[in-house]
Amino acid sequence: MGKNKNQIGITVKKNDDIVEWYSQVVLKSELADYSAVKGCAVIRPLGYSLWQGIMDYFNDRLKILGVKNAYFPLFIPESFFYREADHVEGFAPEVAWIERKSEGEERVAVRPTSETIMYDSYSKWIRSYRDLPLRINQWANIVRWEVKDVKIFLRSREFLWQEGHCVYETEEECDHEAELMIKEYKRLSEDLLAIPVVIGKKSEKEKFPGAKYTYTIEAFMPDGKALQSGTSHNLGTGFAKAFDIKFKGRDEKDHYPWQSSWGFSTRLLGALIMTHGDDKGLVLPPKISPTKVVIVPIINKKYPEQNKKVLERSQEIKKSLELAGLSVELDDREEYSPGFKFSHWELKGVPLRMEFGPRDLENNSAILVKRNNNEKITVSLDELVEKVKNLLDMIQNELLEHARQEVDSRTVNPQTYDEFVKATTQDGCLAIINHCGDALCEDEIKAETGGVTSRCRPMGDDTPSKGAVCLKCGKPAKYKIIFSRNY
């Protein structure tokens, strides 16, 4: 047994080497795999079921928000990139181009993002203020070629995402919905995935190429690095001008509309793994886990008659949980021991394990084990469904709470630049400091720390006290900004 366990289990501790730990969890829990194509990964069924869960959750929200799904071409004509100057500069180095088959056809790229191809259509569809607001989302694959060393879910040449692209009559509407969407992202991240995030605005240096401003949700990983998990941009009217999107207003005159765009990607799965996983493998929050409960019958080859009864009752229990809307696995494989099965399902992150043996059968009870903290609870089968539901809720809450505490314990307010450097580099912390807001000052910090960058100005709490100065350069402070290393 011991031998087998070592082969399938994680062989490094999360705290000792989070990079190796992450890679082992992804591969051994069969979330994803490397592929034969440089820079690209395969999302295996367990990983895809998590993405499907995110899609389903978010599609329900989009319906309520009046956003409709559509699908635009994978290819972008070269000339489109040049229409918006900041945009082309931001994306040109990352673009994969298709080999031209015949002269005369314009060169096309594989989409690194879809603003340009979508807004070309928008310019045909929008005529009057009656056509606004226009709210469209697309689920799509995206390619950014510069990536060479794939870190599954975190960095790869191809990834999956959603991108919402909305058009409004007024700046106020656009501001309002850019903020609304980043709050939706926070909701998805915290409510569904139990990942606490900070909402804030990006600095001028870090905002989206072509945007007026960018909101972000930043998740903070156990190693103190930030993971930008979703962004929402007010694009101003720059793209409308570049793509000639105009509408006849209520005043019968032509106007350029305001635009927003917002997106999150399969990176969220990277945040999910790193936030909750432990030395035994994946830990999935119940709301996103495709399997809520795994039943492991405790059988003993010496007593076949007894085994039969335990297995039959296990089947009945599975059915009763399924009737209550819970997805259940019954691991009745005969060739593996209970201990092996415990490790197997712990690796795969199933939130609740039920152990059920002859003694439980006799006592009309079962043992439930919580994946997140290994707590064991004996419950009567008469109240099993209710207990299981309560425990799943409890696990969901505990995971969020635990992650919050983890982030809090790594959040500091350094009073000197030296403290700041030590905290963000050696100690793996994120630091909230007063800052001048200058891109050059950010550059200096990044260079001196080997990669500490501004993450965001936390929403509702980004104003320095009167007379405060930049912790780095001593000029008057403009904002409170969170700095940390990042993925």
Strand, coil or helix: what is 360?
helix
How far is 308 from 310, CA to CA, in rounded Å?
6
Are the C-beta atoms of residues 415 and 164 closer than 8 Å to each other? no
Query: What DSSP state is assigned to residue 128?
Result: B
Shortest separation between residue 101's beta carbon and a second copy, angstroms? 7
- Closer to a second copy by Cβ: residue 101 or 302: 101
Identity at 436, one-letter amino acid code: C
- Closer to a second copy by Cβ: residue 140 or 400: 140
**77 counts as binding a second copy under rule CB under 8 A:** yes
**72 counts as binding a second copy under rule CB under 8 A:** yes
- Closer to a second copy by Cβ: residue 73 or 339: 73
**411 counts as binding a second copy under rule CB under 8 A:** no
Shortest separation between residue 277's beta carbon and a second copy, angstroms? 21
**469 counts as binding a second copy under rule CB under 8 A:** no
Shortest separation between residue 303's beta carbon and a second copy, angstroms? 25
> Using CA atoms in the order 178, 179, 181, 187, what is the torsion angle rounded to 10 degrees?
170
Rg of the chain in Å (alpha carbons): 26
Strand, coil or helix: what is 484?
strand
- Closer to a second copy by Cβ: residue 143 or 381: 143
**60 counts as binding a second copy under rule CB under 8 A:** no
CA atoms within 13 A on the CB side of 449: 30
Q: Which of 126, 160, 399, 445 binds a second copy (CB under 8 A)?
A: 160
**Which tokens sit at 28?**
């051994």
Q: Interface with a second copy by CB under 8 A: which range of 136-144, 337-345, 347-355, 420-428?
A: 136-144
- Closer to a second copy by Cβ: residue 141 or 413: 141
Q: Which of 26, 50, 54, 136 binds a second copy (CB under 8 A)?
A: 136
- Closer to a second copy by Cβ: residue 76 or 288: 76
Which residue, among 436, 409, 407, 431, has the nearest Cα to 420 in the 3D structure? 431
**65 counts as binding a second copy under rule CB under 8 A:** no
Rounded to 5°, angle at Cα 409 from 471 and 479: 30
Omega prior to 351 cis, within 30 of 0: no
Q: Which of 4, 12, 20, 35 binds a second copy (CB under 8 A)?
A: 35
Helix (H) or strand (E) holding 358: helix 358-363
How far is 456 from 207, CA to CA, in rounded Å?
10
Q: Is 363 exposed, middle or buried (0-12, 13-18, 19+ CB in 10 A)?
A: exposed
How far is 228 from 446, CA to CA, in rounded Å?
17
**52 counts as binding a second copy under rule CB under 8 A:** yes
**97 counts as binding a second copy under rule CB under 8 A:** yes
- Closer to a second copy by Cβ: residue 150 or 219: 150
Residue with tokens 């001196």: 448
- Closer to a second copy by Cβ: residue 134 or 391: 134
Q: Which of 10, 76, 350, 395 binds a second copy (CB under 8 A)?
A: 76
Binding site for a second copy (CB under 8 A): 33, 35-38, 40-45, 47-49, 51-52, 68-77, 80, 96-99, 101, 105-106, 108, 110, 117, 120-121, 124-125, 136, 140-141, 143, 145, 157-158, 160
